Amino acid sequence: MRTIFDERLAEIHRDLLQLGIVVNEAINKAIQAFVTKDVNLAEEIIENDLKINDKENEIDKKCTETIALQQPLATDLRRIIAVIRASSDLERMGDHAQNIAEVTINLKNEKHVPELEPIIQSMGNKIMKMSTDIIDAFVDFNVEAAREIALRDEEVDKHYNLLRLTAIDIMKENPDTAFSVSDYSFIGRDLEPIGDYVTNIGEGIIYLSSGEIVDLGKLN
């Protein structure tokens, strides 16, 4: 009986890893589409968002069935709850990637603002590294890595603040850029929460490991 349960948990963890890979790919492509002005790639991201939603629903269903049928012990229940939370956070990260893709499409006929693009690119690179590393940390139950990754969110927040301030300065100097600049701000607004969701997953790793409920956001 225990062997069946362990296999079920392993399957759920594999599903989460697959979801993480798909979401990270969506984030990566969303940033790439924006930087290269690739509307076709942006449309592909939007179309593929349904796969992310379906995978998240599949994981949630498997977790719910496992709780109902297997009556897990406290430590096993923590693992399942941590997976449910991480899966939900990943799905929301995918939603933000889709939002970025939609903004990229909206920008296709707008004037680009070169002063803002390096900030978006740097912010995106940090987000992609965080989202990739947090999945590895979850697979390995690596608490130290979870804490370290959460600290990086401060740099994401700094980039977002720089983006906003730079956008305001540009609009003051040239009010005609207001529409284009606002779209860049929207992209920053979608990138910034991804760092928060990564931090949430880090909190889930700690909960999974020890049962301790922490707020890693307070580390920043």
Residues 34-59 have pLDDT tens digits of 888 899 999 999 999 999 999 999 99
Full 3-state SS string of the chain: CHHHHHHHHHHHHHHHHHHHHHHHHHHHHHHHHHHHCCHHHHHHHHHHHHHHHHHHHHHHHHHHHHHHHHCCCHHHHHHHHHHHHHHHHHHHHHHHHHHHHHHHHHHHHCCCCCCCHHHHHHHHHHHHHHHHHHHHHHHHCCHHHHHHHHHCHHHHHHHHHHHHHHHHHHHHHCHHHHHHHHHHHHHHHHHHHHHHHHHHHHHHHHHHHHCCCCCHHHHC
Q: Which residue has the higher pLDDT, 99 or 220?
A: 99
With 80 as the cut, is the pLDDT of residue 71 above it?
A: no
With 60 as the cut, is the pLDDT of residue 190 above it?
A: yes
Write out the residue range of the structural domain in which residue 127 sits. 2-219
CATH number at residue 130: 1.20.58.220
What's the whole-number mean pLDDT along residues 142-167? 94
What's the whole-number mean pLDDT along residues 69-75? 79
Provide the domain count of the chain: 1
Range with lowest mean pLDDT among 37-46, 199-208, 209-218: 209-218
With 70 as the cut, is the pLDDT of residue 218 above it?
A: no
Residues 113-122 have pLDDT tens digits of 889 989 999 9
Mean pLDDT of the chain: 90
